[in-house]
Chains A and B, each alone.
Chain A
């Protein structure tokens, strides 16, 4: 049952929210031991919240658009009085004294929070293997990773533990796991959803996004959580266009661009003479590209015009990202010092206590990124690395703006491959980082992007294709995503 169907049934009295929650809790207890999607299941709290929704319905009081819908929250979203760990020993047992803005909004939309999902520690990773509490497994093949860092949320939706989940996306952490788990994952425009209460990884890139089994649920969740928040200075003010209402309007006349640099192996790109010699990102698999081409064809069939466009700086995204994100992270994560909350490992003096606490509390990948970011910001290296990366960002904004003068949305893969095996990339950080090569540009530009399941790879695992648009293009982006969703082969047959 989709989130919107549940909300309709609960509102009409056809089903109770409690019944819905119990059904999902039952599925969790049946299968989550195998998947490991949740760090914490909030059975009692969820039942209480569901009963409150049911009571409101029976009293005839208005309930929100997500009435009775179970939602899984990535465990880096603050929940008042409920442990929020970021899958780190550093924050084990920490109970925030406040709710994130998105959590407040979900509650007032009638949603029922069923648990906190696993992630790569502090959202740093692309496989959910960097969790202090063990990895999450891909529900389609438990020998494979679910992607990351919002792997727990993606797996929860894919396994039917919750029709909706929230993740956070700093370099693709909502879209890439969505692609690998065969669900829809949406990163809204930077500033469209408040970051207040999202434990920061890289503040200028972080954005909370919904994940669901379908585009309509994704859109409904986006509507519930987005909007201006005075507690987030980077929140965009002003009215937001509704997205759910226009989902069925199709893409007739829409101009779609295939990004040459991210789709070098695409038949369409190779046929385009004008784009010979573009430098392309490496490692995008042929089966994935084939589905991107198929998606282009599907959009054409629905009336869109597809062209190939070049965004040269897209290939610089990965490098720029792995300077900017760790730099911001090194500062954001300084506060975990053992003084006010979280883990303390005692020592003879305060500075040593900081060192001991941080050294035992953080995992290897977090330390690696703190080191990288500290280096990139440190005296003598700032201009060569961090400063340059910020200029690459400008370059990307300019080039994407130029592309969006010609097309309405851009198309490319979400992830270079389907879900890989657990442990396959843990030994080589750089290899792991390459997973984000197609998703990173939208984080650097702050633009919205959505991953839609579209076919299966040679290994039978889900493939996701990515649509990107300019700032605040959510309505058109999700409308195009809905067209792809309808056109996607249900049997996973080859394109």
Chain B
């Protein structure tokens, strides 16, 4: 019996530990392919972006795309890797989507080794290597319902053949399905930050395979692992890991052992199914590609790459939290950085906004694609209107949405929408009502020292806000309170 598919953590019972390593293939967003000048473009008519080189025609020769090398080193440095001289090797196997029937990849001397990636929760995942290789073409199985096994024939489109990839291989340091998802999210954030890939899982420009095994908790052995392919979303990644881990625990617990094999994630049925057995040993006959020469980063290349790296997500999160003096939560910081909104919030804080409110307001209520019309000053003004009581939280969200739509300054929007603060005699009447209704607080306000006075002012202002349903201006209420106290 296969276990049911849960989506909960922990994936395995407490006496077991989950061990996951991820292999992520990322298509680099260069203008051209890895070894030829054909456009690296998604979605064109089949076999239109091909030439003698990427079709593997006899006599053609590869020449490395300088940008692909640069992108890969940039990624390596962003992952804290050692970037070294590298050699292209041929991985020999036959498959119709591979024009030369070998893949040019890096084998024993990859560009990037020994890096790490820090997750937002502080957990660190080691990066074994991040190497450059070429993508294959795309095969479509026709007939038999598109299933590979009973198709009538297959069609091959080589537009994707030769597109530059970096394969990022993590160490088996991931312990929960959520960490696996966080790893992919974080990797994606890094890729976007350094501008080397659009990292779209749904378009296949970022493809994730998970190596899953389990072991008794507390042991450090590595047991038989299965490689799950075809994980095309974060949800699938998490579910597949949980499913597979439970399958392993069940097998081990029943005195059996999993077979080392590739498995596929079946999204519809929520389970993994067996693929190719790894036991019929692959013999790729790797050897250095004699058509290409080694890469040897010149002196200063790595330093120049480091100097040009933009602030990375982990650093940006830390900076945002620091600029908020502890008022910005780590969750908000992670989200804001992921959405590239940390700059806006930091600038608003610099312009005087309350850090916690600014962060929360943007994190919760600015989940739109284009928020460019929102300026730091506008955001700061909005936050102070909210804090001072001129706007309720609900109103503040509505104003923010309109600001993102290009509606202008918050006070103008608030006015247009009739979110005016109550002022003048009306407000004075409410203030007097509140004073009358809270004699105890009022007398302590009048007699208290500065700290006491401030505290009670907050309470009394809050009462006024409640009475006016947020339509009062906090500063005006404060002024009235001071007047009434005769100071």
Contact = CB atoms under 8 A, between A and B. Distances in A.
A492 interface: no
B63 A230 contact: yes
B58 A91 contact: yes
Given A331-B285, A337-B101, A377-B285, A200 B59 contact: yes
B255 interface: no
* Range of interface residues on B (Cβ < 8 Å): 20 to 34
B281 to A, nearest CB: 7
A165 to B, nearest CB: 18
A96 interface: yes
Given A331-B90, A335-B101, A340-B99, A78 B58 contact: yes
B256 interface: no
Interface stretch (A34-42, A191-199, A309-317, A411-419): A191-199
Contacts of A100: 59
Interface stretch (A4-12, A135-143, A231-239, A480-488): A231-239
Interface string A318-332: 000000000110110
A196 B156 contact: no
Contacts of B94: 334, 337, 351, 354
Interface centre among B92, B290, B293 (most CB of A within 10 A): B290
Interface residues of A, number: 44
A97 B287 contact: no
A63 B337 CA distance: 64
Contacts of A198: 59
A406 B437 CA distance: 111
B96 interface: yes
A27 B291 CA distance: 39
Contacts, number: 100
B49 to A, nearest CB: 15
Q: Which of B62, B101, B283 has the most CB of A within 10 A?
A: B101
A199 B58 contact: yes
A96 B59 contact: yes
B5 interface: no
Contact of B92 (A98, A337, A339, A377): A377
A231 B100 CA distance: 17
A282 B291 CA distance: 33
A340 B55 CA distance: 8
A196 B283 contact: no
Interface string B258-298: 00000000000000000000000101011100111100000
A63 B421 CA distance: 89
A386 B57 CA distance: 26
A9 to B, nearest CB: 34
A196 B62 CA distance: 9
A331 B96 CA distance: 15
Contacts of A96: 52, 57-59
B59 A196 contact: yes
A420 interface: no
B60 interface: yes
B61 A334 contact: no
Contacts of A266: none
A386 B99 CA distance: 25
Interface string A330-356: 110011010111000000001100100
B116 to A, nearest CB: 31
A378 B283 contact: yes
A78 B61 CA distance: 13
- A203, A231, A341, A386 interface centre (most CB from chain B within 10 Å): A231
B292 to A, nearest CB: 5
A116 B430 CA distance: 103
A98 B52 contact: yes
A71 B63 CA distance: 29
A335 B59 contact: no
Nearest to B281: A379
A88 B17 CA distance: 58
A319 to B, nearest CB: 18
Given A233-B63, A233-B292, A378-B285, A331 B92 contact: yes
B56 interface: yes
Interface of B: 52, 55-64, 90, 92, 94, 96, 99-102, 154, 156, 281, 283, 285-287, 290-293
7 contacts: A84-B59, A98-B52, A198-B59, A234-B293, A331-B92, A331-B285, A378-B283
- The 6 A-B pairs at the shortest CB distance, nearest first, are namely A334-B101, A204-B290, A377-B285, A203-B290, A199-B58, A197-B59
